[in-house]
Every structure is written in C-alpha cells, then in structure tokens.
Amino acid sequence: MILFYIRVILAMGFTSDLLICTTLDCETKEEMLAAIDKAKEEGANLVELCIDSMSFSHISEVEHLLRLRTLPSIVSFRSNLLKGRECSGKKTGLQVLRLAVELDVEFVEIEYEMATEELISELMSRRSNTKIIISTYLQNGGGGCGSGTLCKEKLGNLVICLQSTGADVIKIVVDVAYITDVAPLFHLLAHSQVPLIARAVGDRGLISQLLGPKYGASVVWGSLGDKPVPGLPPLLSITQFYKLEHMNPDTKVFGVISNPVGHSKGPFLHNPAFRHTSYNGIYVPLLVDNIKEFFRVYSCSDFAGFSVGIPHKEAAVGCCDEVDPLAKSIGAVNTIIRRPSDGKLIGYNTDCDACITAIEEALRERRITNGQASHTSPIAGKLFVLVGAGGAGRAMAFGAKSRGARVVIFNRNFERAKALASAVSGEALPYECLDTYCAEKGMILANASAVGMQPNADQTPVPKEALRSYELVFDAVYTPRNTRLLQEAAEAGAIVVSGVEMFIRQALGQFKLFTGGLAPEDFMRQTVLEKF
C-alpha cells in the first residue's frame, strides 16, 4: 500500500509521503476555487471536490473548475444525496466522472453502489493517470456485531467486495458510536494488502485520522478552519501541532482521556514538547465514555501513557494495576503510564502538587512584597474553601490538608462532599450556602468544578459580592484563561491564580512520567504563553 502511494505522490510532485486532504462542498465554482486556495494555505496537499454540492447549469462550469484548480484533487459526485433527482443526478454524476478522467484529474471517487463493472471498465479505458477510488459509508459503527460495535469480520468481507471492483484505491468511512470502534480500522489499515483509505466520523472517531499514519494510512483528512467537522482535526493543527508526517510505526501514543475533551490544551503543549526533546510520541484527545472498556481495547504497549480528565479521575484508580501512594490516598488518578517492562498500568496524581504549589507561591510572593517571608506553608492554618468533590477536588483537598489548612467543601452532590470532608478531617456544607458563606476574612477559595468552563464562560460558582472575604481565589478551569470568577475576584481585591498555572505544573509532572526524563520547563511555559 505505501509503495503504491509513494508512486502516486512522486508522480504528482509531492515532497511528503503523507497526503493531507480536506473535503470541499461549495455551491459555486468561485466558492470552490476560493476554498481550494484556503485549503492550500492551511496545509492541504489534496482536496476532495464534492461536485454534487455545486449548483451549475452546464457541465462546462465543472470543466472550468477542474482546469483552474490549484491542488491535486479527488472528484466525487454522490447521486444518493440529491433527493428527488436520483435519475438526473446519476446521469450528471457519470458526466462529471467521465470529464474528470478526460482532464486527467488525480483521483475520481465512485460510490460502491454506483460502481458497475461497465462503468469501471469505461473509466479505466479512458484514463491516462487518474486513479479510481471505490468508497462506501457505514452507519452506526458498521452494525452486524451488536449495537455500536464495528466488526473486523464485516470489514474484511467489505474490503474483499470493494477490491473485487478492480479499483486502484478503496475507501471505507464509518460512523462510530464509541472510540473503541476505531480500533478495527487501525487493524484493517495495518494488515491491508490493497491501497486503503479508512475514516471514522463523529467526535469519537477523531483518532482515526490523528493516529492513522502510525498504522500505514497515507491519506488523512482535516477540516478547514472556519468549517469544523466532528471527527476531523483542523488542517492547521495537523501541520502545526501534530506534525503527522513525522509519525511512524514506532511512535508511542499518549492522550487525554476525558468527556468532554474538546477544551483540552494538552495536545498543543505535549506535542511540541515531544519534538523539542526528539521523543517519538504523539498526544491526542481521547473522547472516552467507558474508561474500563477503553483500556480493554487499547491494551497494546504502543498506547504508552494517558492524562485523565473529567469525569474519569476516580474511576481510573480501578483501571490501574498499581497506584502511587499519594494518588491512592487521594482516590483519584490524573496520569496513567503503561510500564514498558510488563505492560501494567501505573496510576499517579500530579494535580495535587501542581495546585497547592501554585497557590503557595502566589501567597508567598504577596507576603515577601509585604516583608512577611516565612519558611512554613502560607496555607497552614488558613480556611481552604473548596468547590467540587471530583477528581481534581480530591487532589486539592488532600493537598491543602497536607499543608495544615482547614478544609470546607461545597459540592452539588452533598453526599460526595461529606465523604471527601471525612477523608480529610474537614467539613462539608450544602452547596446552597456557598453564596453567603463567610466564616472569616482572608480565606482561600479553590474552584475544582467545571462551572465557568467554555462554552459556559459566563457562569461563576461564587457571586462577586461574596469574594471580598477571600485573600486568594484559584480556579482550576483554564478555558478561558481568565474566567469570570478570576476577573471578579481581582476586582474584589483578591490574589488570583489561573488554572493555566496548575495546568503547566501538572503537565510538567506528566511529561516526566511519559518520557522517563526531564521536562523542558522553559520551553513548555513559553509554549503556553504563546498558544493559550
């Protein structure tokens, strides 16, 4: 398969072994040409032109488009999308495909349902260099093996059917229900004896493109910057952050397990750091519904390490073969490493130290300025008001307790608040009391909930008038960087500490665990300042 694509790439004048493609579905020829130019600017070296999306009165408009295009192209025409015009649509589609072959377009794509022996023979007899792609689309994970499950057997049989058409390239697009449904596509890519394009669509299918080149994919799809598509990385991220052209079978896979996961900035920090240290790794978003099932399916040694986010930090403890004592006492894991020697999953918590040291340094800086330097923790003896009792909240509660703080916990689920308070010898209070809570002046407020996170950036866990009682306010939310809570706390005169600082510190700890070496702290901090 790879040799085939290399021949195609060389013939088309490409300098990279990886084709980066985007699908264009514009209404007019002018819009299509403008979109091609934009795709080129964003790093695409191949475009799929969906001619069925265009409104044109004569085939000559399509001919003009194909002659003026500035990137190698796949020409497709999906007649089944033209509702109520099946017959005329099929006739027009055949015209378009014949024209593309006559004009020596690099690829034409034909739906399997349309790919008759007569049509394939005709196009092959007419072509000079055009390669023929036969494609099919599977809904709901491909079916046949239970709801939301993609079968290797069904995929294998499908490949045989598509290959029997005599196509140069076969293409399979699958609408997946779970991230675990992508694994059979990787297996298919790695073992295919024919040129194959495989894509999983939907938010949970994103890794089909980000990790595809590791398993032999020579074409990946991305989305134009102003047209986000679920399951497709933006073109700019492919070329600027992920650098998929550098991936090979030995690349180690890391990622953030979360739901939701789109807010995570981890990929934009860890991937540049991998390249900066010449480490052969990639870090990807992993939208996971069932963490135990995820680890059951993705159990090979190449899936080497993971960050763990909302809502999986507590459940992750039960997925580990061994848990670091600190993480075990907290009852939450935010980092998992697959130990190379035996493949066992080892859990850690880098949230705790990251949060507490960020708060301590901010308080020390204020006290040094006021001539009050001290070697003891500035948190000692303080009333530490915590919002949230999930994984991040547990890390903060245990960290605050370890420094001698008195911990008070508010959580929407009062039973969870009481359980955590009991674990740290603290106090739990009903969430409704948070707005008016003022036990004393000079308290510390730490938000470990998702309140205020994009897309709900207008929300805040504590009203502005209540913030005057706090000396320092910390917000674990880092998207946006300056949350409403932090803005209003600063206006109320409190020291504010952004979740970005905690993010940097916990990421440094994770990177050391991922690579078994030192993290490039200056580089990673600069990356955050430039990109976030």
Cα separation values, 64 from 32, 73, 340, Å: 11, 14, 56
d(CA 347, CA 325): 9
Asked if residue 311 has a cis previous peptide bond (ω within 30° of 0), the answer is yes
Instruction: Kindly tell me the burial class for residue 93, based on how many C-beta atoms sit within 10 Å of its own C-beta (0-12, 13-18, 19 or more).
Output: buried
CB 238, CB 222: distance < 8 Å: yes
By the 8 A CB rule, do 448 and 388 touch?
yes
Return the structure tokens found at 208: 């089909």
Catalytic residue status for 313: yes
Exposure letters 396-417 (e unless 16+ CB within 10 A, then b) = bbbbbbbbebbbbbbbeebebb
Query: Which of 131, 313, 382, 401 is an active site residue?
Result: 313
Please state, in angstroms and rounded to a whole number, the distance separating the CA atoms of residues 176 and 182.
Answer: 7
Backbone angles phi, psi at 109, to 5 degrees: -115, 130
In which region does residue 388 sit, left (phi positive, over 0), alpha (psi from -120 to 50) or beta (all else)? left
CB atoms within 10 A of CB 423: 18
Tell me the C-alpha distance between 440 and 382, whole Å. Answer: 10
CA 118/CA 123 separation, integer angstroms: 9
144: left (phi over 0), alpha (psi -120 to 50) or beta: left
C-alpha to C-alpha distance for 1 and 251, rounded to whole angstroms: 19
| Strand order, beta sheet including 303-308 | 281-287, 252-258, 303-308, 335-338, 345-348, 322-323
Question: Catalytic site residues?
Answer: 313
